[in-house]
Amino acid sequence: MGNGSTLYVGLDVHKDSIAVAYASDDGRTDPTHLGAIGTRQCDVDALVRKLQSKAAQLVFVYEAGPCGYWLYRYLTRKGLTCFVVAPSLIPRKAGDRIKTDKRDALTLARLARSGDLTPVYVPAVRDEAIRDLARAREDALKDLNAARFRLKALLLRNDLPYTGRANWSAEHLRWLARLVFPTPAQQIVFQEYVRTVTERTELLQRLEAELLAHARPWHFYPVVEALQALRGALDIGRRGRDRSARRGGRRHGLAATRECLEYPGSTVPDINRIRSPGLSLSSRNTSF
């Protein structure tokens, strides 16, 4: 193998190890499995030195996954070529269901040499930081909803339904503050659930404030505003379609209820249980 050749290096990246395979650009030899290395920067440096003794140009490729983009950034800072590919865009043979670290690394090296891999966009460090902040906000919202559900389940088990108009309004919170359970143990559980809801609400408010503060100077913020406007327009259109559907159903003898749609003499499944996926990007990551 000459020093003027190119090596296509497939990396199967995990938390504690990286499986390595390489293929030369001559196309006459099968990819070679080099083994596994550690994930420390010194381990990567040793691999680069070893491969540079075999070829002048190195092209690294690995799948996007939970380990993030640190390896891509480290290799590109050293002036090396590196691509990250989406697992869903990797060509696979029909019926090929066996996955091992060695096979994955060999497949990446072979497909990189043949040019059959499509790289994905790797976000800049600041873009990924905004994404992490948005994910933290989403996690806080899920935790808040779970805490509220536990509190409402406790009230339901003890026949203490709220008869007001809106849950978690100021009136609802005052009603919760006046509740007293019949036993001290239940009162402790109730107070801890209320405290959890309060803490989760405050955490969500803090994260939303930080997300807004960091997003305003972000270079993608105009895109965020456009998505929010699009989401609002779609919500308005959806509500209009829902009202038109209800009016049309009444004209044709359909009585829409939360339990079912009742035809004369028959029952059909509840369409309210079928949810539209909506715009996950605008509803999840851009609702600042």
Q: What is the pLDDT of residues 157-205, one digit of tens each?
A: 999 989 888 999 999 999 999 999 999 999 999 999 999 999 999 999 9
Share of the chain above pLDDT 90, in %: 62
Residue 282 reports pLDDT greater than 90: no
Residue 255 reports pLDDT greater than 90: no
Average pLDDT, the chain: 83
Give the integer Cα–Cα distance in Å for 36 and 122: 25
Mean pLDDT of 110-116: 92
Confidence bin at 4 (pLDDT 50/70/90): low
Q: Is the dihedral of CA 211, 170, 240, 141 positive or negative?
A: positive
pLDDT score at 259: 40
Give the integer Cα–Cα distance in Å for 171 and 168: 8
Residue 266 reports pLDDT greater than 50: no
Give the integer Cα–Cα distance in Å for 112 and 57: 14
Q: pTM for the complete prediction?
A: 0.70
